[in-house]
Every structure is written in C-alpha cells, then in structure tokens.
C-alpha cells in the first residue's frame, strides 16, 4: 500500500510537538501509519555556520552530509507525535542511521523533504521501524536517510531478524575528541533535539541514565567531519550503529580503515567501550 502524503507549507513549532510527546506515554497499536509528510525548507545560513563549528566541519562549499537530517528534524517530530503514530516518542531508541549522498550537496539553498515510516519488525526487546527521509532539489533526489528506531515492549508475531556482521577490517586511530558536559545542550539549542537524556545529569536520571549522554547524530557528524579525506564528494553511503552511549563528559577515539571505496569506522571510549560502529561504501552508478 502506498503512502498518503500531506503537503506542509512549514514545519510545526517545536514546543507544541514536545508537549504532544510528553502527553503520549503508552503504546496505542502495532500498525504504522501510511501518512507521510512533504515540506520544502530553506537552508538557514546562520544555523549552518554554527553547525559547521559545533561539529568541526570547517568551511566547505558542500553541505555536511548530516545537515539535511537537522533540517528535517521538526518533520520527524511532527510525524512521530501524530495521533496515528502508535508508539510514544519518549523512550524510542535510535539503533542505527544510514545516509546516502547521491549527488554533491553544493549550491543548495532549498530542499524538498519527504518523511515517512515503514518496515515494522519484531525485535528481541520490542519492535523496530525505519524513519525514512528523502531530500530533493530541482533535479530530483539528492540525499536520503534511514534511521532505525526501537520501541521497547511492543509485541509482534514472528522471530527477530539477525543481520550478518561484516568481516572486520584493520583500523587505526584517526582522531579523538573530548565531549564536554555542555555539548548536549549546545547541540539541542542548534538542532532542536531537546531529549532530556542529553541535557543534564539531573534530567537524564529521570530516564535511567546516571549522566547526560551525547546525541548520536552529533557523534556521527563529528566522525563524518574527520572522515572527509576518506569519502568522495558524493555517490556514497555511510551507515552507523549506535551501541553504548557517550556519557558526558568523556574523551572518545575514532578509528578507521584506510582510504578505499569501502571502509569501516569505530568510535570508542577508554577501556575498549564501543560507542558506535559503521561502514562506508561507494554507490553503484545509476
């Protein structure tokens, strides 16, 4: 069954969306809605410059590959807090994120987004689904993203699927950075993701975390900035799985395989704690 698309002229205000998220605390069903959202959004040059600084991208004529995710964040919230969406937003766990840069992200001032959910599957801890985001310019599809999210406690028929692990490549340290105690609040102010687990130790403890944790998409953005010499300007995919959260403050280490059309990365803490693992690969020509 195809999706039914709602055309939006602008995104909804974030405070109202967060209020809806707080009000919904229970699972209301086991069927994903077929409604999707379309919206055209302008690139905010001031926010983009601040994002480049925060995530260490530096000056570049191309948009960071994670920037369309930030642009579409309010659309994500609007879709995931709609009455037809069966799971509470608070408590969803971001398991993985895959981005495809199909054409160079240069000379872009406006993008048309399409956001939808699909692929509901059983998981050993509940159920997973994919949040799909696509960004187009006047020539067509430019960028796409799949975020896999887990809702604990959902009961679905069938057995959880097991994805095969890729053979490990030799990795060496590429860089390291210090995630200070304020990074969650600074990322939230810029990108709109005010999940309490990222803001302070006090608010994080309300959700079972002893300390505030870094946003997963900040960690991915920092890794992408460090991997610029490994990746082409377009025609590639980079996927990461989020493991142990980065507790704030802490130092993390990014290891990567050598420059090649396909490679692997790992973000670790001291003592061998793995926070994030991922792969990149070039896309086949259409």
* Helix ranges (DSSP H) in 88-145: none
Q: Which helix (H) or strand (E) holds 22?
A: helix 14-23
Q: Which residues of the chain have pLDDT under 70?
A: 1, 286
Position 283 scores a pLDDT of 96
| Comma-separated ranges of CATH 3.10.129.10 domains in the chain | 1-163, 166-286
Encode pLDDT of 206-252 as tens digits. Answer: 888 999 999 999 999 999 999 999 999 999 999 999 999 999 999 99
Q: What backbone phi and psi angles, to 5 degrees, belong to 5? A: -100, 135
CATH architecture of 1-163: Roll (3.10)
Average pLDDT of the chain, as a whole number: 95
Position 202 scores a pLDDT of 94
Closest by CA to 108, choosing from 152, 78, 63, is 63
Q: pTM for the full model?
A: 0.95
Q: Identify the CATH assignment for 166-286 out of 3.40.50.2300, 3.30.750.80, 3.10.20.30, 3.10.129.10.
A: 3.10.129.10
Position 215 scores a pLDDT of 97
Encode pLDDT of 121-144 as tens digits. Answer: 999 999 999 999 999 999 999 999
Q: How many CA atoms lie within 13 A of 145 on its CB side?
A: 24
């Amino acid at each position: 069954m195809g999706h039914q698309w709602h055309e939006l002229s602008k995104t909804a205000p974030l405070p109202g969306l967060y209020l809806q998220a707080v009000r919904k605390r229970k699972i209301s069903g086991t069927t994903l809605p077929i409604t999707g959202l379309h919206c055209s959004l302008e690139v905010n040059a001031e926010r983009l410059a601040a994002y480049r600084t925060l995530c260490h991208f530096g000056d570049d004529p191309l948009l960071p590959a994670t920037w369309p995710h930030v642009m579409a964040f309010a659309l994500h919230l609007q879709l995931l807090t709609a009455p037809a969406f069966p799971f509470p937003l608070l408590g969803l766990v971001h398991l993985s994120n895959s981005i495809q840069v199909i054409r160079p992200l240069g000379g872009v001032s406006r993008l048309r987004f399409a956001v939808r959910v699909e692929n509901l599957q059983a998981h050993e801890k509940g159920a997973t689904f994919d949040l799909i985001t696509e960004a187009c310019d006047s020539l067509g599809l430019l960028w796409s993203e799949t975020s896999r999210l887990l809702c604990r406690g959902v009961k679905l028929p069938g057995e959880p699927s097991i994805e095969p692990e890729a053979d490990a490549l030799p990795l060496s340290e590429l860089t390291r950075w210090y995630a200070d105690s304020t990074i969650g609040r600074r990322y939230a102010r810029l990108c709109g993701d005010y999940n309490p687990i990222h803001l302070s130790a006090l608010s994080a403890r309300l959700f079972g975390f002893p300390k505030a944790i870094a946003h997963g998409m900040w960690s991915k953005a920092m890794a992408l900035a460090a991997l610029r010499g490994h990746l082409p300007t377009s025609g590639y995919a980079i996927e990461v799985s989020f493991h142990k959260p980065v507790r704030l403050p802490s130092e993390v280490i990014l290891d990567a395989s050598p420059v090649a059309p396909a490679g692997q990365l790992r973000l670790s803490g001291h003592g061998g704690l793995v926070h994030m693992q991922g792969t990149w690969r070039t896309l086949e020509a259409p």
